[in-house]
Structures are given as structure tokens and as C-alpha cells.
Structure 1
Amino acid sequence: MNAVEIEQAVSLLAEQPFDAEEFPFAFLRAFGNKETTIKRLRKGDTNKSDQNGVLQTNNIHIAVAPAGQVKATLDALRGSPATQRHKARFILATDGETLEAEDLGSDEAPIVCPYAEFPNHFGFFLPLAGISTVRQIRENAFDIRATSRLNRLYLELLKDNPDWGTAERRPEMNHFMARLIFCFFAEDTDIFNGTGLFTATVEQMSARDSSNTHEVIGEIFRAMNTAIPNRATARLPRWADVFPFVNGGLFSGSLAVPRFSKIARSYLLHIGNLDWTRINPDIFGSMIQAVADDEERGRLGMHYTSVPNILKVLNPLFLDDLRARLEEAGTNARMLLNLRKRLSKIRVFDPACGSGNFLVIAYKEMRGIEAEINRRRSEGDRRTDIPLTNFRGIEIRDFPAEIARLALIIAEYQCDVLYRGQKEALQDFLPLDAENWILCGNALRLDWLSICPPSGARATPRGTDLLDLPSDAPDVAFENEGGETYICGNPPYVGSTWQDEQQKSDLGYVFSGITKNWKSLDYVSGWFMKAAEYGSITKISAAFVATNSICQGQQVSFLWPLILELGQEIIFAYKNFKWSNLASNKAGVTVVVVGISSYSTHIKKIYCVSESGSIVEKNACNINPYLVDAPNVIIKKEMQPKNDVSAMDFGNKADDGGHLTIVPNQLNAMGLTEYYRKKFIKRFFGSKEFINGEIRYCIWISDDDLSEAESNYCIKMQVDKVRNARLASKDAYARSLASRPHQFKTPRLAKKSVIVTPRVSSEERPYLPVGLMDSNGVVGDRNFALYDAPLWNMALIASRLHWVWVGTVCVRLRTDFSYSNTLGWNTFPVPPLTENQKAALTRCAEDILLAREAHFPATIADLYDPDTMPENLRAAHDRNDEVLERIYIGRRFRNDTERLEKLFEMYSKKVAPQGSRKGKTGGRS
């Protein structure tokens, strides 16, 4: 269960009549415990309580208290031997009127609240559901609760008004929800004259059977769409006439309202009774958009984008510089004034803005800097000089675009209240500005200069094939000639394999005519290319969150030469980290943040995020597309090694329908004699077998031995199955292999030994899992292999140097390494080796193998667990690293950063002619 689902379940529990006997089980069920778990607790099989309650080991001890005895019961739970013995993290006591709870595993203050209000504290208990982002959720608990209730209302309205769920009317439904959100916020923040005015009016003026609820809401909306001078002729009911004129586009157009059932009316009143002063527009919009999206609703609550993550983009892009200038200005009035003027002219443009998270955060942070300037100049109540229209966005879906604009409006009001005061904020808030500065459209099809022009007038679209702008395109001229423009955002993550027809077409629109390799690019590449083209015409800096794959593997050679040739350079980067959400188990995608510019004078910076979340910052002379402080060389596939190392090939690919490889049970069932087993059966090593020690075999038959092998019925049956599988294949080459069904597609066998490297392995291991096999083993195609290669090659693969190279230039699957012979091995820079150096490396490889042998039958997975790696094996690898690194630079490298910088230096010298410029990319792909 995710956070929103848990909040819904907890709220439903609190709304039901209190059942003392059932409460502990209902509480655990609300946090995702399965019915089988509940059944065992109910029977007493797993209930360890000694207080007539329910104790779930390593989790929680719950007891229902006699009336008025909640505190005493909680004290008893705290002192219970069972609580200590079974390591309960939480204790909870309630009598149905009051609830108290304590987290024994932290210094958090205990909860003491009325029973009906305990859902307000649902975030306190989220560790029970395995959700680790508890602090972030607790800080945004209101947004989650509000989203949960709005979702229930939305679904109830669609149930009663199915026509509002059609493609034709869904935008109208979404617009209605945006109006409701505004009303809930406005009635709790004095924007409406009277706290709770909207909810109270609906409750008082609509019938309890909800028959006229839609009419009452419709009249309220009509009032907010009617200017004060027109009220006399509008014939508004007196109870609606008290609402102010709002409009600003929010209440224009159709004022139709869906019909309400009694349940829907009840939901609406419950939502209105929440404290909407606590709304956080930073993240609220991204959660609300899930309410209106059928596909996303199934993952409701997983849209949380933390402010710290957003600031990883915005801070190095421009906010850090603004804060530095503020620090530099001190109390100098003129410098402060100049900085304030600069702030007023900054444009922030998010061409994948969703519900506006980045724009809202940028706006709030800039308002904070402006407020400090005003404070230092003794102008604390001054109206802001930062216009909302300087925060522009493109969003392909209409509802998020509408929510983004609403989130900015709410953020502006909240900032005015915070920095100027409630009275001044209200004075300037209504009516809303009718200008539209968030555009609904396809960002990869639109001319960004026309939406966020660098000067006051609209830019003329470049090229004759650009689509016309939509009718709702912003026509808001900037009043800040000469200001800075910063492009930022979190565009969609869609790899080339998973793009739909429309997305492929979008990328073709951006890249066709520039490169022939665009079909292999991630979808986010389109945003980088559009930003680079924008920056080639006018000065901008841009930064996007992106999947780490655009800075690894072949995509680097397809994308980055095009960007660099437009005069852009990488000005900062965050290396791989998890872009987390509200799901349990730290779910999230592995991303990078990359900032580009054609004019930045700032010191370039590379940031790394540790597992604990701390950030390590490093200045760089140049950041290349692999996010390394090194020249802008592009690593391209090499079909043969560029150094004096052995050729690396694939293992054996079967294309056999799974019939040449067999597991132990299958082999035993074949009943082969010792002779047949020894002659025609070999151990088979895929990556799982090699790393985890799993057992699998394969049938291995040479052409000369085919007749003898097929004289055995069981072997012949397997060969026949292979023939049939290949004949049934849609692939012509696979069908041609049916003529030799007794063999793998690519039969390769070493004469003496083979060095094996799995194609995919975890980055958690400090070294790549390389090993040595004799000629009796068959290497599967999930591995790479060096057949009959000198053993010193293994020392190279087993080194930390090779680990950092592969981790940088090869593609990753999430954060796992995806090894490549053409990108990782054939390009690996190795200095010329003397015979003595090769002999020393051979001894190092032998020592590594001997250290492993000492721990037989431990597997590679066991041996290379970073927490339990044997000391003698660690020492053998350390010795290997020392010998190799002294060959490279005469001493040990200080860290992985220094290793990478040396490797890129060596590679660039090999591929670039002497005297070539630092930024040389080798031309377009």
C-alpha cells in the first residue's frame, strides 16, 4: 500500500463506530497486513501480547484501554516484558475516545489526540507499512489527506455522472475540480469574506438529499464569474452574491456542475472541513493530477517530488548564484536594489511542467530572497516585483496545466501573506489575473521561443514546418527586457524500447535531419536538444532531470555531440541518485541532473549523492557527457581492443527453445549412463550460475559424434525438440539453424580455460564478478568470455580501475552494471605492459582465485557482498589494484574520481590528434 491508500484506510476506520475487540486487527489491516496475517494474530498463533492486546513481532503492541485509562495502559505497554522481548517498535493504546501512541525506536514526541483525529497522524505509523519517507510524508500529511478525499469525491461524481468521464467532458470535469480546490483554499484563508463560507453555503442551501447541490454550487460559481458592476443585472441569489468576483479564467466558460449523490455531498463537506491553510503547492499539484488521470490513479500517492530533489536542479542552475549575490551585497542598499531588479527580470521556463512543482519552488525561493532584500532595505511590506507571468510552462495534458497555474496563484498568495501580511495579500489578490502563461501542448512540437520569448515581442517561429501555436498560447509580453532565462524540469522518462508511436514521432520531429540514430534515444533527449537549440539563439541556461542512460553507453555518442556542437557545455551535474516517491521500499527511478549553457561563467560543479543523502561537491574544469571532469571525448564502440589485451567474445547463445540446457532434475530423469553423461553433458554457466552458484547443464555434441549421441533416445528427443523450436521461429536465421539442432547457435569452447565476465551485475559489489573456468564448462551468452586468454587479463577486469570505467561508459540497468565488450573492454585504456608487469598481474589474479578457493563453497555473490567480503579476498584485490595503479601513475589513485580522470585523459590521447581542442567531440553521429 502507498501513503494515500493507507490514509484512506485509516480515515475510514476512524469514521466507523469504535469496536474495542476489532480495533487492533482493523488498525493493522489499514497498514497493509494481509488477511492471513490477521487470521494468525486473531487465533493467537503469532500474537505475543501479555497485556490482553495484540503484539506483532518487530512491529507494534496495541491494547484497548478501559474508559479513561489510556495513559496507564500505554505505560503498561511500555513496561511490558513482551514489548521488549519481541522488539515492538510502536505501542498504542485507545479507549475509543482518546488515542496515545509512542515510537520506541525514535525520539519522536508521542501522539496524544482524540480518537477521531488520529488519521491526522497516519504518517507517524508509516514504518509499519515499510514506507521510509516518513518525515517527508509527515511534513506533507495535509496534501496526502486532501488528495485522498478529492480522489474519493472524483470517483463518486464519475459514478453518478458517467458522461462527465468521457473524453469529450473530462476536461470540464477537471476544470470543475480545480474550481473546488480554489474554493476550499479561499474560504480558509479569508480570500472569501468569511471562514468556511463555501462549504457552509453548500451545506445550508443544498438539500440533505443532494437533489439541488449542483444548482447551489453552480450559482456560487456564477457569482465568482460576475464582476461587481454587473451584479445588479445578474440576479444572483443573496447567499451567492456574498462571494467575490474571482474569474481570471478560472470561472470563465461553462459553469455546469455534475450532479451530487448524498455520498458525494458528504465527501464534499468533509473535504471543506479540512484545514486548507496547510496546503503545500510545492507538491499538492503533482498529487492532484493523479486524481484526474485513470492510468495514474492506480499509483495514487506515488507522485511526491521532494523539494530537496527539485532544488538539486534549481540551486546550481541559478538560485545558488542569487544567494551568493545576496551575501555579497550585505547591507549595501544599491547592490540590494540591483539584485532585486535582477530578480524581477528572471524568467523560469519548464517545458514539461506537469502540475508546476519546479515553477512553484522557483517562485517561492525567489520570493524568499526578495523578502530578505526588502528586509535589509527596511521595505518589508513592499509589493513584490516578481511577476507570476515570468514562470512559464508547457504541459501536454490540460488538467495538470490548469493545476500548475492554480498552484502558482496559491503560492503567490501564501508568499504575500508570509512576507507582507494578510491584509496586504488580500488587497491585491482578487480578481485573478486573466493572463495565461501555462500552455497546454506538446513541448517537442512547439517553438519554445514563441512561448518564452527572450524579448518583449513574440518570436517568429523558426522554420516553415513548425506547428501553429495552440489558440491558448500565452500572449503575455515580458516587462523585463534583457532578463535571464532559465529552463528546467523533469521531462518524461521513456526509453527507446518503450516509446509509443506518438513519442517516436515526437523524437523524429526534433532529430530527423540532424542524426540518423534518434530512434535509439530516450524520450528526454528531445528536451535537451530543444534547450540546446534555444540556447544557440539567445543566452539561457537549462537543467533537466533525466534517466542516467543518456550519459552512458551508445546514447552519449548519439546525443551529446549534437548539443556540444551548438556551443553548449555542461555547467553542473548530479550523478546517479534515486528520484524517490511516496511508495514503500524506497521505490524510485535512478536519475541524473544535467545543466547546460553556452555562456555560464560559474565554476563547473559535479555533485554526488551518498546513500545517507549527503551531497559531495567537486569543482571541475570541464564536465564531459559522462559527467566526469575530463575532456569532451565520446566513447564509441570498438569491435576490437584498442590495447594489447585479448579479444572478448560473447558466451554461447542457444536459440534452442530451452532444450539444450537442462536443470539437475531433468538430467537425472534422462537416466544417462556414466559414458553418455561424461561425453555429451557439460556444466553450463549463465550469469546466475556463475554468480549465485546455481546448477545447470547442457547437451554438447560435436558433428563427428552426432550419430552416437542420437543413438540415445533421451538425447535424441531433446535434439528433436530443438529442431522443432527452430523451425517454428519467425526469425529466418533461427529457422536455418534447424539443420544443426544438436548445437548452440554460436558454439564456442575453450581449449584450456576461459575468463568469464557476467553481462549484468550489481553496482553494490566493489569489483566486477570475473572468474576462471576450465574447458569442461560451457559459458552462456549472459556472460562475456576471453577464450584461452593469458590470466593477466583477469587482473585488469578485477580491478577498481575497470569497475569505474565500465560503470561510467557502459549502459546501466537502473544502477546495475550492464557490461559491454565493445564499449567497456575494447575501449579500456591500458598502458603498454612489459613482460614483468604481465607476470606481476598474473600473480595478482592467481592470488584472487586462491583467496576465493579458501572459502569454498561460497559463491561469487557470497564472497563479494560488500558487508561480508572476506578479508583475505579484499586484501588480494587491494594488492591487485596497487600493482596495476603503479603501472598507470607510479602510485595508488586517491579515489575513483582520480581514476576516471586518468582513464579519460589516456583515452582522449589515443583517439584525438595532438593539439586538438579540449571540447572536440569527433563530429556528428
Structure 2
Amino acid sequence: MNAVEIEEAVSSLAMAPFDAEAFPFQFLEAFGNKPTTVKRLQSGSSNKSDIGGVLQTNNIHIKPCLHGSVSETLSQLKQSPATSKARAKFILATDGSWLEAEDLRSGETIACDYPDFADHFGFFLPLAGISTVKQVRESAFDIKATGRLNKLYIELLRSNPEWGGADRRHEMNHFLARLIFCFFAEDTSIFDGEDLFTSTIEQMSDRDSSNTHKVIGEIFRAMNTKSADPAERGFRPRADRFPYVNGGLFSGSTDVPVFTKIARSYLLHIGSLDWKKINPDIFGSMIQAVADDDERGALGMHYTSVPNILKVLNPLFLDELREKLQEAGDNSRKLLNLRNRMSKIRVFDPACGSGNFLVIAYKEMRAIEAVINERRGEAELRSVIPLTNFRGIELRDFPAEIARLALIIAEYQCDVLYRGQQDALRDFLPLESMNWITCGNALHTDWLSVCPPTGEAVQLQGDDLFSAPLDQAEIDFENQGGETYICGNPPYVGSTWQSKDQKGELEALLAHRTSSWRSLDYVACWLIKAVDFGERTPTSIAFVSTKSVCQGQQVPILWPLIFGKGFRISFAHTSFKWANLASHNAGVTVVIVGLSQNVGSTKKIYSPDAQQETICNEVPSINAYLVAGPTIIVEPESRPKCGQAIMVWGNKPTDGGNLLLDASDLEAMQLSSLQKQKFIRRFFGSAEYIRGNYRYCIWIDEDSVEEAQSIKCIKARIDGVRQMRLASQAASTRQYAEWPYKFRQIQGVAKTHSIIIPAVSSERRPYLPVGILARDAIIYAKAFAIYDAPLWNMALIASRLHWVWVGTVCVRMRTDFSYSNTLGWNTFPIPALTEKNKRDLTRCAEDILLAREAHFPSTIADLYDPEKMPSALRAAHDRNDEVLERIYIGRRFRNDTERLEKLFDLYKGMFEDEQKKRVSKKEKS
């Protein structure tokens, strides 16, 4: 169940007659528990309660009680040994009149009249596996309104299918935006009369709904008619009470879809909600899915938390404004200068969605302005911060409309808060006919036309606020100049998952800049367009992005293009979860990168500490890997740079599966022991090594081909390889049909032993799962191999130092490490090792292997599970780190940050030495 479905189910339960016996089970069903789960609890087979309630393990302990004993019962639930033993997250007690509950992890509580507990449904969302945030727990309104609007939207499309087509979908979305404005306006006194919109429809439209659309249409026309003379307006007395709104919101067509009785009922129900509670920070993104068929399954889950947005906006410019406010104190002149400066600041989100970033930026700036006005004795002064300075581009028309509406609502709420209801109402209507949100493709739009260079005027084909075309901006007012801050959360889309159109956009923007553009994430387009924008007018930039643009092969492709424009990283947030409400997606892992052409002497890196609290470190510079250190980029190297052994990809069969065997295949071949010994070898890729899976391959030496082909079952497989290769579309593969008895690509075979390094490994493991294989093992192309090398090479790979280097400079597959020999191993900075150093490291590697052997037959996956790792193995790795890190700096590193800073410093030295050698060689020649 999604959040909207849960809210509806909880609201229905709260409105129904209270049944003490059934309530616990109805409550659990409302939060998505399956009927079979509830039946087991009802039968008592899974009910662990020891005080006559209902206790679901790992979830909640509920007990209905006698009238007036709710608090006492809640105390019993909390003290119950069964509550603790079953690790219950919540306890709840109710007598049908009053309800109390507690989150046992945080200690938060709720207490309310029973019918009102639906307003607190967000408090219980973890019961449904949905990660929740404080803002949602405190207000259920936005989800409730989203659900009701969605029901209305679906019902209207059902009875008016033509409004769902391409020709009229924009009209339908515009209609919904008009309704939202009306609901808000009638509950906030913008309309003169309590519930004016809802009550007018209820009284003027017939109960069979036959004329509902006509009544609404007349109300819309009234709000688009400027004359103050009732006779000139010519509307029926009830409709004539609606003020002139304009601003494009009610201009143009006033057609309204035809209403069914159900749709009319839904509309009146929506109007009965308290729209004063609307939160434009949240609401816009909540209802984004209403008008999108593909996203409706995640209804109410499109939520970006305000704290996360402030991680972008605070270091980008808000913190500096607050510092200036503190410096100004009560100095009237300084306060005035700061206010004048703020009046010209433009915030531009070129992937604005429903306007979250713009709304938060506006509200935070209004809060600062309010302090200025209060200190200057001008508390009731009208704001000098215009909405037109908060600009965005959004691909879809419905979120674009909601972004405009959210900003209008935010402006009114700020006016009420800081100036009072009377002044807010006086200045609110009519809305200004200015457009500052463009509906179009940000990668096809000239950003300078949306947010032009400082001091330049813009005179495009301007129309009005709510009528932006799909392909270009409509800004018909003169730009006021000032600072420009570009921010947002653009679409990520890794290179593998990009559509044909997205690939085309990457090519158009980047192909003339780099031949490797195909490897970049889609978000790279926004970064490049932003720095291009910065060449024309001073700007600072901060985008949310997946970390992949700051890792691996993308760094040497993308970041020289950014640094080449004169931008440097001014601040960065290292990896964290970008939380939303989706149970199926508790939050993608992201970074935030701030860019500026005028960075100060100190830059800021924000990262989580051991308790997941964000800490800020001021550093001299931040590199493209979001590490404190010189602005240097790690390029792939074909050979190791510091004396370590050569690492290669494993062997690639290209055999159609004919040369590879599982245990049952091998048994079915019925080979003799001698034949197995001669022609069968253990076969290891990443999965086989880590999970201990048994796989085999047929391996035939050149001098044994004739003998192998004399064995019927082996010959059949060789013939299968030949046929597969001959049928291949690749010419090189067809050529290898001449040698069907051997792998297509043989990178190496050990004489004594192999060191295997999985190509992909979970970042949950505290160390990379490197290991040693016997001489007859064959390593597959989904792993890397070092053949017959000294064991101290394994000690390097098994170290925490190498773990952090690979995790930083190699690419990630989601959050897993994707190892690279050219980026991770060949570039790994290693100080000059003495023979003693190598002996010490060899001993460390042997100790790690012995510690693993002591737990045979546990797999690498078992041994390196961070919650189950044997203490002896952990101690062996710790000794290895101790020995290696003392080689680097004479002591242990304090943390991974210090490790990376040292590694990048060493790499910089390696890079500079290489450059000197090249120059010297060139001079000699």
C-alpha cells in the first residue's frame, strides 16, 4: 500500500463505529498487513501478547481497554515483557473515545480523540515499511488532500475520456490547479465568505450533478472578469461574489469536465478539508503523480524532505545571508543594504518539478527579510523579494503549474505570517501576469532566456502566468540583475538505462567536447549547461546527483570540462540517502556538489559521523572525488605505477555455455578420475569465489586436443562451441571457431597460484574479498587475477587503504564496488617498500588466510558479513592495516578521510614525477 491508500484506510477506520474486539486487526489491515497475517494473529498462533492485547513481532502491541483507562493500559503495554521480547516498535491503547500511542524507539507519543487519530497516520507509517520524516508525521493534510484529488481526477477522466487525451490533458491539469487555488482561497479568507467555493457549488448545482460543470465554469469566468460593477459582470449573485483573480490562472478557456454524482461528491468532500494546513514545501511533489499515469502507483510518495533541500540551499547562499544578517546587527544601513541585495537574488532550478527548491528558497529568504524589517521597525512593510526571481524549467506541464501555484501559496502564507492577514489579503489579488516557470525541456531551452545575464532585459513573447508553452520561456519583464544561484535535483539516469532521446541529448550537448560522452550519467547535461551559463554571468551552482559522476571513469571525462570553465568545488555533501515516502525505495544514495568561479580560501565538506550526524570540515580544496585534496583527476593506467604485480581480467570463454559445467553437468559426463584431472578445472568468477559456488570448465592444453576429442561427451561440447562461434555476428568470434576447444580470450594461467579479486563486491563488507587460488583454478572474466605474484600484493588489496581508494576512484554499481585494474590497482599510490616491509606484509596476508581457514567451510560472504565477521579474522585485518599504515605515515590513520587525503597527496606526487619524466625525455630527444 502507498501512503495515500493507508491514509484513506485509516480515515475509514476512524469514522466507523468502534469495535474493541476487531479494532487491532482492522488497524493492522489499514497499514497493509495481508489477510493471512491478520488471520494468524486472530487465531492466536502468532499473537505474542501477554496482557490480552494483540502483539505483532517487530511491529506493534495494541490493546483496546475500558473507558477511561487508556493511559494506564499504555503503561502496561510499555512494561510488558512481551513488548520487549517481540521488539515491538509501537504500543497503542484506546477505549474508542480516546487514543494514545508511543514510538518506543524515539519516545515520541500521540494522544487524541479517537476520531482524530487518522490525522496522525504518518506517525505509524513505519508499520507499513515506509520511511517517514518529521514534516509528514506532523501534518497528514497533504497526503489526505492528494488522495481525495486523485479520486476526483480519476472519476472525471472516466466520465470525460477525451480530457485524458493529448489534446486536452493540459486543460485537465490546468483545471485541477484552479480547483486547488479555490480550495485554498476559501479557507484562508482570500474569498470573502466562509467555504464560498464549496458552498456555492453545493447550493447552485443540482444533486444529480447535471449542471455542476456549468456552475464551476461560471465561477471561473467571474474570477477572470475585472470589472468591479456587478451589473457589468453579469453573473448570478452567488457567482458574482468571487473576486477578480486573473494572473493567467482563470484566463483562456473556462470549459469544465462534466461531473457525475460521484465526482460532485468527491469535490464537496475535498472542499470540506481544512486547506489552511496545506504545506507548499510538500504538497506540490505529493500531487505530482495525480496527473501522471505512470507514477500514480507511487501516489503520495514523491516527497523530498526540507532538511535535504536545505543541504543544497544553505551552503549555496542562505548561510552566507544569515551571516551577513548577524554581522549587520541593528545597523539600519547594513540591514537596508542586505535587503536590497536580497531583492535582486535569483534562484534558478532548471529541473524544478513542482517547485520544492524554489518554495523553500523563497520561504527562507522571507524569514531573513522579516528579521531585517523587524530590526528596522518596518515589520509590516511589503516584501521586496519578488516571486519572479524564483525561476524554473520543468518538462511536464502539470508539475510546472503546481510549482507556480505553490509559490503563490507560499507568498501568501509568508505575508500572513510576517505582515498579518489584513495586509496579506489587501496585496494578494489580483495575481500578477508574469511568468517565471517555463514548461519545456531544460536541455532544449536556452537557460539565458529564462534567467538572462545580469543587467540585460528580456522581451520574449510574454503572455501570462499560467500559459507557458512547451518549448520556450515566456518572461516579459525586465531582469533586475543581482546574484544568480542555480540549484536542484536533476534526473540521474545512468548511461546503461538512458533512452534513445536521452542519449541524443547527451550527444548534442557533449559529443563535440569529449569522445567519451556515452559513459556519462544524464545529470552531467545539467552540470555542463550550468557551467556554460556561468560563462555569461556570475553564478554559483549546487545540484543533487548520484555519486557516480564523482567516481571512476566519469571523473576524467566530465570534470576537466567543468574545471576548464573556471569552476571549482566550493562545498560537497558526501553520500547520504535522499529520503522519500516510498516503501519500495527508502531513498537513493546521492551526493551534493556545489560549484563556483569565486571560491574562498576554505571549502566545506559535509559528511556523516559514526552516529550519522552531519559534520562539516573546512578544507583548502576539494577534488572531483569530493575528497579534501588537490584538484587532480585519476586517469586509467595500463600498467602498475608503484612496483605492484600486473593485474589482468580473467579468461573469457565465449562458448555458448559449452565449456562451462555445474556439478550436475560434470556428473552426467561420467568422466574417469584421470580424465577429470586432465581436462576439468575449477572455475571462479566473482560469485563463485564469494559465495563458494562450485562451477567447472573444460580446459584443454594444446598437446591434448586429440585425446580430448576422442572422449565423446567432450567432443560434443567442442562441436557446440564451434557452431556457436560460426553463428556469431562478430567476425573475430567466427575466426575463433577454428579453435573451439579453448577459451576465446585467455589472459593468463597460474604456474603456482593466483590472487583473485572479484569485479563486483558489496560496500557493506569492510574489506575487499581478495583471495588465493590453487594453480589449476581458472579465473573467469567477471573477476581479476594476479598470477604467481608475491603474497604481499594480496596484503595491499586486503587493506582498508585500498578499500577506500577503490571506493573513491572506481565506478560503483548502485552502492557496490565495481573494481578496475586500470583505475583501482595500477593507480594505487604505494610508498617505496623495503624487503622487510614486504616480508611483514606477506606475514599479514598469511595470517588473514589462516584466520579464514579456521572457519572452513564458511564462505567469503559468510566471513565478511559485517555483523558476523569472526573476531580472529577482523584482528588479522587490523594487524595488516597497522603494518601497512605505519609504512605510509608512521602511525594508524584516524579515519577514511585522512586515508584518502594521504593517498591523493601521494598520487599528486606520482603524477608530477611522471610529468617531469616526460618533459625530461622530450628535452633529451
Q: 1:24 to 1:527 in 2, by over 3 A?
A: same
Residue 153 of structure 1 pairs with residue 186 of structure 2: no
| CA distance in 1: counterparts of 2:388 and 2:639, whole angstroms | 55
Q: 1:261 to 1:824 in 2, by over 3 A?
A: same
Please name the residue that 1:892 is paired with.
892
| Secondary structure in structure 1 of the residue aligned to 2:112 | strand
Please name the residue that 1:29 is paired with.
29
Please name the residue that 1:797 is paired with.
797
Q: Which residue identity lines up with residue 586 of structure 2 in the other structure?
A: A
Please name the residue that 1:904 is paired with.
904
Q: Is the 8 A contact 1:3 1:582 kept in 2?
A: yes
| Secondary structure in structure 1 of the residue aligned to 2:543 | strand
Please name the residue that 2:565 is paired with.
566
Q: Is 844-853 or 856-865 further displaced after alignment? A: 856-865
Please name the residue that 1:273 is paired with.
272
Shift of 1:133: 1.9
| CA distance in 1: counterparts of 2:692 and 2:344, whole angstroms | 63
Q: 1:885 to 1:20 in 2, by over 3 A?
A: closer
| Secondary structure in structure 2 of the residue aligned to 1:684 | strand
Q: Is the 8 A contact 2:213 2:259 kept in 1?
A: yes
Please name the residue that 2:287 is paired with.
288
Q: 1:173 to 1:613 in 2, by over 3 A?
A: farther
Q: Mapping of 1:796-815 within 5 angstroms?
A: 796-815=796-815
**Identity fraction in percent:** 65
Please name the residue that 1:782 is paired with.
782
Q: Is 54-63 or 277-286 further displaced after alignment? A: 54-63
Q: Which residue identity lines up with residue 852 of structure 1 in the other structure?
A: R
Q: Is the 8 A contact 1:444 1:526 kept in 2?
A: yes
Q: Is the 8 A contact 2:209 2:261 kept in 1?
A: yes
| Secondary structure in structure 2 of the residue aligned to 1:295 | coil
Shift of 1:489: 0.8
Q: Mapping of 1:639-654 within 5 angstroms?
A: 639-654=638-653
Residue 664 of structure 1 pairs with residue 652 of structure 2: no
Q: 1:711 to 1:43 in 2, by over 3 A?
A: farther
Q: Deviations over 1:481-533 (max 9, x none)?
A: 4x111111111111122222222222223223222222221111111111111
Q: 1:658 to 1:203 in 2, by over 3 A?
A: farther
| CA distance in 1: counterparts of 2:245 and 2:459, whole angstroms | 34
Q: 1:906 to 1:32 in 2, by over 3 A?
A: same
Q: 1:653 to 1:384 in 2, by over 3 A?
A: same
Q: Is the 8 A contact 1:626 1:809 kept in 2?
A: yes
Please name the residue that 2:257 is paired with.
258
Q: Is 364-373 or 444-453 further displaced after alignment? A: 444-453
Q: Deviations over 1:867-889 (max 9, x none)?
A: 34333323322322232233333
Q: How many residues align?
A: 907
Shift of 1:99: 4.7
Q: Mapping of 1:380-419 within 5 angstroms?
A: 380-419=379-418
Q: Which residue identity lines up with residue 561 of structure 1 in the other structure?
A: P
Q: Which residue identity lines up with residue 831 of structure 2 in the other structure?
A: P
Q: Which residue identity lines up with residue 475 of structure 1 in the other structure?
A: D
Query: What is the TM-score of this pair, normalised by structure 1?
Result: 0.93
Q: Is the 8 A contact 1:660 1:722 kept in 2?
A: yes
Shift of 1:262: 1.7
| Secondary structure in structure 2 of the residue aligned to 1:608 | strand
| CA distance in 2: counterparts of 1:384 and 1:695, whole angstroms | 71
Q: Mapping of 1:452-601 within 5 angstroms?
A: 452-458=451-457, 470=471, 472-478=473-479, 480-481=480-481, 483-584=482-583, 587-601=586-600
Q: Which residue identity lines up with residue 377 of structure 1 in the other structure?
A: R
| Secondary structure in structure 1 of the residue aligned to 2:228 | helix
Q: 1:203 to 1:98 in 2, by over 3 A?
A: farther
Q: Is the 8 A contact 1:589 1:814 kept in 2?
A: no
Q: Deviations over 1:559-583 (max 9, x none)?
A: 1111111111111111111212111
Q: Is the 8 A contact 2:149 2:290 kept in 1?
A: yes
| CA distance in 2: counterparts of 1:807 and 1:71, whole angstroms | 51
Please name the residue that 1:920 is paired with.
none
Q: Is the 8 A contact 2:61 2:83 kept in 1?
A: yes
Q: 1:611 to 1:10 in 2, by over 3 A?
A: farther
| Secondary structure in structure 1 of the residue aligned to 2:295 | helix
Q: Is the 8 A contact 1:450 1:459 kept in 2?
A: yes
| CA distance in 1: counterparts of 2:458 and 2:653, whole angstroms | 58
Q: Which runs of 5+ in 1 are unaligned?
A: 462-467, 917-925
Q: Which residue identity lines up with residue 476 of structure 1 in the other structure?
A: F
Q: Is the 8 A contact 1:449 1:459 kept in 2?
A: no
Q: 1:767 to 1:377 in 2, by over 3 A?
A: same
Shift of 1:456: 4.1
Q: Is 235-244 or 666-675 further displaced after alignment? A: 666-675
Q: 1:203 to 1:66 in 2, by over 3 A?
A: farther
Q: Mapping of 1:700-779 within 5 angstroms?
A: 700-747=699-746, 748-779=748-779
Q: Mapping of 1:841-860 within 5 angstroms?
A: 841-860=841-860
Q: Which residue identity lines up with residue 499 of structure 1 in the other structure?
A: Q
Please name the residue that 1:464 is paired with.
none
Q: Is the 8 A contact 2:100 2:109 kept in 1?
A: no
Q: Deviations over 1:591-635 (max 9, x none)?
A: 111111112336211111347441121112121111122222221
Q: Deviations over 1:78-114 (max 9, x none)?
A: 6766556545443445566655544455422243323
Please name the residue that 2:919 is paired with.
none
Please name the residue that 1:165 is paired with.
164
| CA distance in 2: counterparts of 1:587 and 1:238, whole angstroms | 52
| Secondary structure in structure 2 of the residue aligned to 1:801 | helix
Q: Is the 8 A contact 2:458 2:476 kept in 1?
A: no
Q: Which residue identity lines up with residue 902 of structure 1 in the other structure?
A: K
Q: Is 345-354 or 653-662 further displaced after alignment? A: 653-662
Q: Deviations over 1:10-54 (max 9, x none)?
A: 234445666666544343222222233234334443234566654
Shift of 1:68: 7.8
Q: Which residue identity lines up with residue 477 of structure 1 in the other structure?
A: E
Q: Mapping of 1:804-883 within 5 angstroms?
A: 804-883=804-883
Q: Which residue identity lines up with residue 478 of structure 2 in the other structure?
A: A
| CA distance in 1: counterparts of 2:95 and 2:657, whole angstroms | 62
Q: Which residue identity lines up with residue 199 of structure 1 in the other structure?
A: T
Q: Is the 8 A contact 2:233 2:240 kept in 1?
A: no
Q: Deviations over 1:119-174 (max 9, x none)?
A: 21211222211223253430342211111211121111111111110011110000
Shift of 1:281: 0.7
| Secondary structure in structure 2 of the residue aligned to 1:411 | helix
Q: 1:93 to 1:627 in 2, by over 3 A?
A: closer
Q: Which residue identity lines up with residue 825 of structure 1 in the other structure?
A: W
**Root-mean-square deviation over aligned CA pairs:** 2.6
Q: 1:23 to 1:531 in 2, by over 3 A?
A: same
| Secondary structure in structure 1 of the residue aligned to 2:320 | helix
Q: 1:89 to 1:413 in 2, by over 3 A?
A: same
Q: Deviations over 1:165-221 (max 9, x none)?
A: 001111000000111111111111111112322112212222222222111111111
Q: Deviations over 1:701-742 (max 9, x none)?
A: 334334434444444444444444444544444444444443
Q: Which runs of 5+ in 2 are unaligned?
A: 461-468, 917-925
Q: 1:337 to 1:87 in 2, by over 3 A?
A: same
Please name the residue that 1:465 is paired with.
none
Shift of 1:762: 1.8
Please name the residue that 1:326 is paired with.
325
Please name the residue that 1:420 is paired with.
419
Q: Is 217-226 or 715-724 further displaced after alignment? A: 715-724
Shift of 1:77: 5.6
| CA distance in 1: counterparts of 2:139 and 2:703, whole angstroms | 72
Q: 1:889 to 1:85 in 2, by over 3 A?
A: closer
Q: 1:260 to 1:762 in 2, by over 3 A?
A: same
Q: 1:805 to 1:671 in 2, by over 3 A?
A: same
| CA distance in 2: counterparts of 1:524 and 1:136, whole angstroms | 28
Q: Which residue identity lines up with residue 496 of structure 1 in the other structure?
A: S
| CA distance in 1: counterparts of 2:574 and 2:78, whole angstroms | 44
Query: What is the TM-score of this pair, normalised by structure 2?
Result: 0.93
| CA distance in 2: counterparts of 1:431 and 1:345, whole angstroms | 23
Q: Is the 8 A contact 1:446 1:469 kept in 2?
A: no
